[in-house]
Amino acid sequence: MIPHAQNFIKVLDKIRPSKHRYEVFNDWLVLASSTLYSTWKKEKSVEEEYLQIAGQYTASELDQLCQLLAITVEALEEKEHDFLGELFTLGGLSNERNGQFFTPFHISCLMAKLLIGEDYLEKKRIIRVSDPCCGAGGLLIASILEFKERGINYQKDVFFVGTDIDHRCARMAFIQLSLLAVPALIICGNTLTREIFWQRETIGYHISDMDYRLNIEKFLDLIAKPVYQEEEFQEDKNIKEEKRG
């Protein structure tokens, strides 16, 4: 196990011996994600959830829970990778009985390299990356590395969307992408039925003014749409005339 992951598990197991490691980790995900979200956006439901979980721990235990976030920050500062995803697997925190397995990060990096085509380099608009079953955000983080290698400013010109039905996965993705200052929207929901349980934007989304920029692009698309329709109509008309001739 990697050093940062070892330190994380060591602190995690000390926090509340009466609770299973799995339960304490779940509580930490709520506290950490709520803290990162509340730094820039206040929502009553998020604050209430935070207080409900925090009330179960002593001041000393809360300090140790804060240490876990500090370890996560250090791990991501040292190397941009899917730290929590790897920890989730190595620490025995995933639900293997339900077939929950995360893609190894080196495979995610290969997938990102294959999926991100050269067309992105030619676009002058916001690049959009979406993962409908994001886990802890491994593929999205791998995409970050690929954009950096291609000289694209992912903190400004790329919009990331991650969705997962497991609230723990959605929270892990939110924590990691928040700490990496990525403009992202993380959704806890069912991609197939389009049911949304909750969704949160990262602080990077706020800093990059992504909401305003996406609305501008939507407006530009609406303006350009009649032109596209006219061109398509003309193309269809030309094809029909050629067939008649």
More confident residue, 120 or 13: 13
**Residue 20: pLDDT band with limits 50, 70, 90:** confident
Q: How far apart are CA 33 and CA 229, in angstroms?
A: 44
Q: How far apart are CA 128 and CA 144, in angstroms?
A: 12
First-residue to last-residue Cα distance in the chain = 72
pLDDT over threshold 90, residue 239: no
Buried b (16+ CB within 10 A) or exposed e, 167-185: bbbbbbbbbbbbbbebbbb
Neighbours of 202 (CB within 10 A): 27
pLDDT at 161: 98
More confident residue, 88 or 121: 88
pLDDT over threshold 80, residue 64: yes
For residues 7-17, average pLDDT:
92
pLDDT at 38: 93
What is the tens place of the pLDDT at every residue in 196-215? Answer: 999 999 999 999 999 999 99
Token digits of residue 114: 């294959």
pLDDT at 124: 72
Buried b (16+ CB within 10 A) or exposed e, 93-110: bbeeeeeeebbebeebbe
Token digits of residue 170: 């959605």
Contact in structure between 9 and 84 (CB atoms under 8 Å): no
pLDDT at 99: 55
Neighbours of 223 (CB within 10 A): 8
Distances (CA, A) of 17 to 65, 93, 196, 212: 14, 16, 34, 47
For residues 92-118, average pLDDT:
77
For residues 20-28, average pLDDT:
93
Contact in structure between 65 and 28 (CB atoms under 8 Å): yes
> For the packed helices 3-15 and 83-90, what is the interaxial angle rounded to 10 degrees?
60
CA 27-31-32 angle, 5° bins? 115
For residues 98-123, average pLDDT:
75
pLDDT over threshold 90, residue 98: no
Least confident of 81-90, 99-108, 114-123: 114-123
pLDDT over threshold 60, residue 125: yes
Share of the chain above pLDDT 70, in %: 85
Neighbours of 73 (CB within 10 A): 14
pLDDT at 223: 83
pTM: 0.86
pLDDT at 230: 53
Distances (CA, A) of 55 to 59, 62, 66: 9, 10, 15
